[in-house]
Amino acid sequence: MATATLTIDLDALIANWRALDAVTTCETAAVVKADGYGLGADRVARCLMHNGVRKFFVAAAEEGVSLRQALGPDPEISVFSGHMAGDTDMISDMGLTPMLNSVDQIVRHVEALPANPFGVQLDTGMNRLGLEASEWAAVRDLVLPRNPTLVMSHLACADEPEHPMNPRQLAAFREMTDGIAAPRSLAATGGILLGSDYHFDLTRPGVGLYGGMPFVEATPVATLGIPVIQVRDVAEGESVGYGNSWIAGRPSRVATIAAGYADGILRAMGTDVSVFSGDQRCKVIGRISMDMIGVDITDLGEDPSRLELLGRHQSVDTLADAAGTIGYEILTSLGHRYTRRYKVG
């Protein structure tokens, strides 16, 4: 087999959801946008639903359609982007709940689907999505009698617990929503970890479910094993890969493994990452190319058939640090060429 194997541990996923749920006394939903953060929304969400999750969040109505087809009629599926032009039939036919972000969306929804459930998103300082305080003040007495399923906002800096933006947004959210009857939600993964003041009636963990920061105690969910295509001896002074960027400083044994930036292994990681044979670290050498990566296995003492890039020794955030990015990008970039295996039990 010439393609890498991405193993998704669904038991670890459920353990992470339960751990985050146990931190709160409110309901815990699950965010499965971007195809379940790259791990397969249908399999991920079905497993979560079978373990008690009843509310899911996606980014767009099209994602909601696919999720509804996978989960059936029972769970609530909310759409962060709200009710966009052209979404009406999908929202109605698939029983989706848009999180309305603007006065225009509120008007569109009420005129097109007056009996369809909806939520409202408020902007508490992130300046990304949601009604600003003045807009909310103008429409809240018209919106609240229609019984929104949720009134929510999103934290900009929850992954930095001491950031002053967190209490600022919390205060703004309370000022805009205290006293309303509708359920409220402010916290995703980072917000859950900030403490009970941020939990309200519903939390919406996303990246923490999949083993990402800021949930430090998360169980790894994704493991990536990459097959070795060829192994060769490289003499001292010879180079490996494009641009002669790695020169052997000693007689070396080099493996070429079958994955690259076309598979979401970002070229910017360079040589700041390693792969593993069991517990033994092997350094990535040369440039990461489209389909192949060079690895120094000189000290391994044997020629492996497969090496592990992602798993218990190296998290998505370790890879992200090497590439100067975040774990979200690593997860959602995991390639479609991988053979995907789902592990349960």
Active site residue 33: yes
10 Å Cβ neighbour count for 189?
24
Of the candidates 59, 52, 69, 62, the residue with the CA atom closest to the CA atom of residue 36: 59
Of the listed 33, 37, 55, 328, which one is catalytic?
33
H or E stretch at 138:
helix 133-143
The whole-angstrom separation of Cα 168 and Cα 170 is: 5
Sign of CA dihedral 135, 138, 139, 141: positive
Q: Which residue has the tokens 């087809």?
A: 69
Angle at the Cα of 24 (from 21 to 26), degrees rounded to 5?
90
Q: What φ, ψ does residue 22 adopt, rounded to 5°?
A: -70, -20
Catalogue the long-range contacts made by 65-69 (C-beta closer than 8 Å, 24 or more residues apart): 65/90, 65/94, 65/96, 66/41, 66/42, 67/32, 67/41, 67/42, 68/94, 68/95, 68/96, 69/94
CA atoms within 13 A on the CB side of 51: 21
CA atoms within 13 A on the CB side of 324: 4
Active site residue 55: no
Strand partners, 215: none
3-class secondary structure for 154-201?
CCCCCCCCCCCHHHHHHHHHHHHHCCCCCCEECCCHHHHHHCHHHCCC
Of the listed 55, 210, 242, 338, which one is catalytic?
242
DSSP percent split of the chain into helix, strand, coil, nearest 5: 35, 25, 40
Active site residues: 33, 242
